[in-house]
Amino acid sequence: MHRNRWAILATVSSALVLAPSVSYGQGGTLTPFDKLPDWSGVWSMTGGTVFDTATQTGKGGSVTPGVREHPPYNPAYEKIYTGHLALRDEDRYPDVQTNCGVPVGFPRILNLPDAYEFVVRPDVFYIIAENGGNTMRVYTDGRKLPAKEDTWGTYTGVSVGHWESDTLVWQTIGLKGSRDNDSILDRTGLVLSDAAKITTRMRKINENTLEAKMVIEDAKALTKPWEVTKQFRKNKPGLFLYDYGCAENNRNPVDQATGKTFVLGPDGKPAN
Amino acid sequence: MNFLKKVGPVAQVVAVAGFAMQPVLAHHSGAGFGTETREISGTVKEFQFTNPHSWIQVNVADASGKIVEWSVEWGSPNQLGRDGYRPATFAPGTKVSMKVHPMKNGAPIAGFVAAKFPDGKTIGNWDAE
């Protein structure tokens, strides 16, 4: 009996030692700078802005009529997506990013044109996307993910990670999903719910390529985990990144009432 | 055109190829632009080298001789700048011919395809369409 009790205790203790697989923190031990991989430089996403090209059908980009992806949506979210696709085909899907007001959020921050910097520090990992501009933080200082009741839904959520050799593994919760119709994954109209939980494994697969493999779980929207991979190529050294004042001269605002994207003439009035 | 001389032929090829690889009009849907290519010729009024997209304002004479101001949308200045383009690339007063994708409703607004200057220098793939 005692032996069994000790066996159970040992099992539980082992589970606690392996806490990173649960909490995604790294137990308060910081990985020193010299043990971290070099992800310096300027990077650009490869391919266009279709979020999941592995399941894409139809030829073209995310705004091309007929193009769609096939996440393992349940019937309710498939219906939502089908509705968005129909609007997209009529050029009336309202992408609020076009009004330059809110962040793109996660995981769309890994689905942007222009340039990226990936800043690796012992305590935190930053994704700095020039487009937007958009920023995301992944804490690697040993903290644990907050309890669900301590999250309230934000565009990039809350992320905690740890290093497994040269791979950064992090989990993201607390996403707002499509609650206010202002968080989407791409312009085909892919959305997730506020129940989304995303586990990302990011590493260099060669000197010039970073890869982020995401496993998206969403009990409200998906029937099974959805795996999506994005890659980033390293640009030539010495490039400058700049600020990106989206509202500086936005001549393509979206009418939120109709979803229509305006094209403003030189007089500032819609030409369409 | 000084910038093209400055960056040299190899960089010019890289610049054009780099531009071609970018999802240029990623900010919005390209709403209203058709797929038909049209050539226009005129004088640069202004190059709005601004985010999220740059706009080239060109005064073009229509069939009756009336001057019409065209708005030609191009990429973000950030990416164009990294590809070697500058605000002076389309200096006011410069004569230019452009291949563009005009709006389907006939408004003088279009997406940029390529440009050709009087000295024969080109930007974009002038011969492709």
Domain range summary for chain A, segments of one domain joined by +: 22-234
pLDDT values of chain A reduced to their tens digit, one per residue, 272 residues: 444 555 544 444 444 444 444 467 766 678 899 999 999 999 999 999 999 999 999 999 999 999 999 999 999 999 999 999 999 999 888 888 888 989 999 999 999 999 999 999 999 999 999 999 899 999 999 999 999 999 999 999 999 999 999 999 999 999 999 888 889 999 999 999 999 999 999 999 999 999 999 999 999 999 999 999 999 999 999 999 999 999 999 999 888 788 888 899 999 999 98
pLDDT at B22: 38
Query: Is B127 within a domain?
Result: no
- Structural contact between residues B56 and B45, judged by C-beta atoms closer than 8 angstroms: no
Mean of the per-residue pLDDT values of chain B? 82
List of chain A residues whose C-beta atoms are within 8 Å of the C-beta of residue B51: 244-246, 248-249
Q: What are phi and psi of A60, to 5 degrees?
A: 130, -160
Please answer yes or no on whether A265 and B57 come within 8 Å at the CB atom.
no
Please answer yes or no on whether B78 and A242 come within 8 Å at the CB atom.
yes
Please answer yes or no on whether B28 and A245 come within 8 Å at the CB atom.
no
Q: To probe the interface with B, which of A67, A116, A251, A261 has the most B CB atoms within 10 Å?
A: A251
Query: Is B128 within a domain?
Result: no
pLDDT at A81: 97
Query: Is B129 within a domain?
Result: no
pLDDT at B21 over 50: no
pLDDT at B30: 59
Residue percentage of chain B with pLDDT more than 90: 69
The alpha carbon of residue B52 is apart from the nearest alpha carbon of chain A, in Å, by 5
Q: CB neighbours of A130 closer than 8 A, spacing ≥ 6?
A: A114, A115, A116, A241, A242, A244, B78
Read off the pLDDT of each residue in B1-9 and give the average, rounded to a whole number: 38
pLDDT at B16 over 70: no
Exposed / middle / buried, residue A198 (Cβ in 10 Å: 0-12, 13-18, 19+)? buried
pLDDT range class, residue B26, cuts 50, 70, 90: very low
Q: What is the ipTM for the molecules in this complex? A: 0.80
**Is B29 in CB contact (< 8 Å) with chain A?**
yes
Query: Is B23 within a domain?
Result: yes
For the record, the structure tokens of B108 come out as: 């003088």
For the record, the structure tokens of A179 come out as: 């609650």
Of B48, B76, B103, Cβ closest to residue A263: B103
B-facing residues of A in 22-61 (CB < 8 A) are 48-49, 61
Read off the pLDDT of each residue in B80-85 and give the average, rounded to a whole number: 95
**How many domains does chain B contain in total?**
1
User: Residue A81 is inside which H or E element, if any?
Assistant: helix A75-89
**Is A64 in CB contact (< 8 Å) with chain B?**
no
> Which domain covers residue B72, as residue numbers?
2-122
pLDDT at B33: 86
Please answer yes or no on whether A246 and B73 come within 8 Å at the CB atom.
no
pLDDT at B7 over 50: no
**Residue type present at position B39:** E
**Is B62 in CB contact (< 8 Å) with chain A?**
no
Q: How crowded is residue B71: how many other Cβ atoms within 10 Å of its Cβ?
A: 23
More confident residue, A179 or B52: B52
- pTM, entire model: 0.84
Closest residue, chain A, to B110 (C-alpha): A263
More confident residue, B48 or B25: B48
List of chain B residues whose C-beta atoms are within 8 Å of the C-beta of residue A244: 51-52, 76, 78
**Is B49 in CB contact (< 8 Å) with chain A?**
no
pLDDT at A261: 87
Query: Is B20 within a domain?
Result: yes
Of B29, B51, B105, Cβ closest to residue A244: B51
User: Lowest-pLDDT range, A13-17, A265-269, B10-14, B95-99?
Assistant: B10-14
Question: Residue B62 sits in a domain of what CATH number?
Answer: 2.40.50.140
- Structural contact between residues B98 and B113, judged by C-beta atoms closer than 8 angstroms: yes
More confident residue, A90 or B27: A90
DSSP reduced 3-state for B72:
strand
pLDDT at B2: 39
Read off the pLDDT of each residue in B22-40 and give the average, rounded to a whole number: 69
Of B23, B50, B108, Cβ closest to residue A113: B23
**b/e string for A8-19 if b means 16 or more Cβ within 10 A?**
eeeeeeeeeeee
For the record, the structure tokens of A264 come out as: 């403003």
